[in-house]
Amino acid sequence: MNGPQTDIDKTYINVALFTLKQIVGRTFPNPPVVCVIVESSYTLTDHKIVSFGLTSFTGRPHAEANAIESINYKKNKFYTLYSTLEPCSHQGRSESCVSKIISSGFINRVIFCTLDPDKRVNGKGKKKLIDNNVIVDHGIMKNSASKIYEGYFLNRKKKRPKVILKLAISMDGFISFKENIRSKITNRMTNQYSQIIRSEVDGILVGSNTVKVDNCILNCRSPGLKKFSPVRIILNRSLDLCLNLKIFKDCSKQRTIIITQNKDLEKHRKYLNRNIEVRYITPKKYNLRNILEDLSSIGICNLLVEGGAKIFSSFIKENLFDEIFLFRGNFFIGDGGLNAVNSEKNNFLSKKKFSIRESIRFGNDSLEILDSLKKNNQLDSKNVFGNN
């Protein structure tokens, strides 16, 4: 038996892709992968799933290893391993997935959606399988898979994560009643949904002033989601944040990074002693592109940017975002409100940079998911912030 059995293969790849969507952002620092092992006769006339494997929530073991491990295979049966991504072929801390597949001795055929853009794998996994007499096919549902892997592909190909800006604004487009004030903009339902969004990214980035003013924790607090709390990243050039802030309370449980231009090692040590990682970037290189490249190098593929105004302004001005989650509370702030973006000077928000992909309601609040036009080249003249 050779070549793709299109309908059957599509069905099982779809099962894997459906499951993949549930684990994006939850396998840091490795890409999420879903494997389905199907047992059949050699003619493929009867077939059934005998194992599922997902990348573990800590990144290891990989999906293939998890799927293979739980199988009692039968010698007279034929086994196809469906995977959302090309199995890895490089030796890391443990045996590569390709070696696992080969040494398992029972996988006859491997079908995957897309080659892995990681240079250490790209096509090598496929070749090694073929060299070891495993039938290989790929490209099935490639476009659907590529969409789900957008963050991972950006990380490996462009050296930056997928960037999602998350803003909560009033009806008239303000993110706070005034500067340096913490303001409640959205309702409980919306806030709970925000926790789910956090649980689906690898990292949350904020500016130092949001940490100071909001004294935010930036974790996933909803029951069941705690273990998916992402890496917290704070931009703080001068490294002057007070260690009494809530965000620094339990950094041994949630990885916390400050990106700074300050190279004073005494100051670094103060934070390191509290399990806070300090990443130094020289003043010359301290810009968003380099910061994103640095985050990409530690495995961040999906990054949620949660403010405040200066940070939003910088990302929008430099066109360094892919999506915006725009939550809107059901009230007006009026004069004196803090603009979501420093738009008075630059008027970025009226510059047709977004198209609305989806609208959802949470009671009186709403959420619009906007795509960067840079990404899909669609035109939308609507000024979504409404206060320009």
Ligand X SMILES: NC(=O)c1ccc[n+]([C@@H]2O[C@H](COP(=O)([O-])OP(=O)(O)OC[C@H]3O[C@@H](n4cnc5c(N)ncnc54)[C@H](OP(=O)(O)O)[C@@H]3O)[C@@H](O)[C@H]2O)c1
Residues making contact with ligand X (CB under 6 A): 167-168, 175-176, 180-182, 185, 206-210, 213-214, 235-238, 288, 306-311, 314, 338
Residue 136: CB minimum distance to ligand X, A: 45
Residue placing its CB nearer to ligand X in the complex, 44 or 217: 217
Cα 277 from Cα 258, distance rounded (Å): 6
In the block, tokens 């002057």 appear at 240
- Residue 68: beta bridge partners? none
Check if 323 is active-site: no
Residue placing its CB nearer to ligand X in the complex, 135 or 213: 213
Residue 189: CB minimum distance to ligand X, A: 16
The answer to whether 239 and 217 have CB atoms below 8 angstroms apart is no
Provide the residue type at 229 as one letter.
Answer: S
Residue 240: CB minimum distance to ligand X, A: 7
Residue placing its CB nearer to ligand X in the complex, 210 or 387: 210
Write down the H helix ranges in the chain: 6-23, 63-69, 97-104, 124-131, 142-148, 150-158, 188-199, 208-214, 265-272, 288-297, 309-317, 343-346, 373-376
Residue placing its CB nearer to ligand X in the complex, 12 or 327: 327
DSSP, collapsed to helix, strand or coil, labels residue 322 as coil
Residue placing its CB nearer to ligand X in the complex, 213 or 298: 213
**Structure token pair of residue 237:** 């050039």
Cα 359 from Cα 382, distance rounded (Å): 14
**Structure token pair of residue 71:** 């199988």
Residue 277: CB minimum distance to ligand X, A: 16
Phi, psi of 303 (to 5 degrees): -120, 125
Residue 226: CB minimum distance to ligand X, A: 22
Q: Which of 39, 64, 200, 306 is an active site residue? A: 64
In the block, tokens 């096919």 appear at 137
DSSP, collapsed to helix, strand or coil, labels residue 32 as coil
Instruction: Tell me the catalytic residues.
Output: 64
